[in-house]
Homo-oligomer: A and B are copies of this chain.
């Protein structure tokens, strides 16, 4: 009955839930599993969250808020050339995907499990994030760094980046920096 605050306790529980959601998927994760992971009994869980869906929403919100904040900060700090901004966004995206991996994997895989209300709220957050991308891509298009349809290009880039959660191994030889550089090089037109 305590719902909707954001106490530190709740944040910690959300983090642990994300871990389980990634391992098992949302539907296969039972409230009993969640409770055990959190070190409490299943009934106590509903003191912090109204229902199971709200836990999912909390996980996704946390991840998206972080990504948005980091992207904004990154854009303010980097050089103002279109290439530098494009590269910085890609690197920030990949680094968030890495440090906050659980939350983002959940957001990508379990989005459809959200109820209408939560989805409405969270899609605004996601739209704000994608707007940043489209802005950077517009700049790159205007500068002739890349060519093509802005809608398609941004979708292709987002796809390439988000797909990394399926194959990227953080302990491997390639850093997020490497990936970002390679991606920007791939879509840039050297003729420009």
Interface residues of A (CB under 8 A from B): 25, 27-28, 109, 112-113, 146-149, 152-153, 155-164, 166-167, 174, 179, 182-183, 185-187, 189-191
Task: Across the interface, name the chain B residue whose C-beta is closest to A188.
Answer: B189
Contact A25-B159, Cβ < 8 Å, known A148-B186, A185-B147, A187-B187: no
Query: Given the complex, which residues of B lie within 8 Å of A187, measured CB to CB?
Result: 186-187
Whether the Cβ atoms of B156 and A186 lie closer than 8 Å is yes
Whether the Cβ atoms of A148 and B191 lie closer than 8 Å is no
Whether the Cβ atoms of B27 and A28 lie closer than 8 Å is yes
A154 CB to closest chain B CB, in angstroms?
A: 10
Query: Given the complex, which residues of B lie within 8 Å of A191, measured CB to CB?
Result: 189-191
Whether the Cβ atoms of A157 and B160 lie closer than 8 Å is yes
- The listed residue (B27, B153, B163, B182) touching A159 by CB distance below 8 A is B163
Whether the Cβ atoms of B164 and A163 lie closer than 8 Å is no
A188 CB to closest chain B CB, in angstroms?
A: 9
The 6 closest A-B pairs by CB, nearest first: A159-B163, A27-B27, A156-B160, A159-B160, A190-B191, A160-B160
Whether the Cβ atoms of A149 and B182 lie closer than 8 Å is yes
- Which of A112, A153, A163, A185 has most B Cβ within 10 Å? A163
Task: Across the interface, name the chain B residue whose C-beta is closest to A190.
Answer: B191
A110 CB to closest chain B CB, in angstroms?
A: 9
Query: Given the complex, which residues of B lie within 8 Å of A152, measured CB to CB?
Result: 174, 179, 182-183, 186
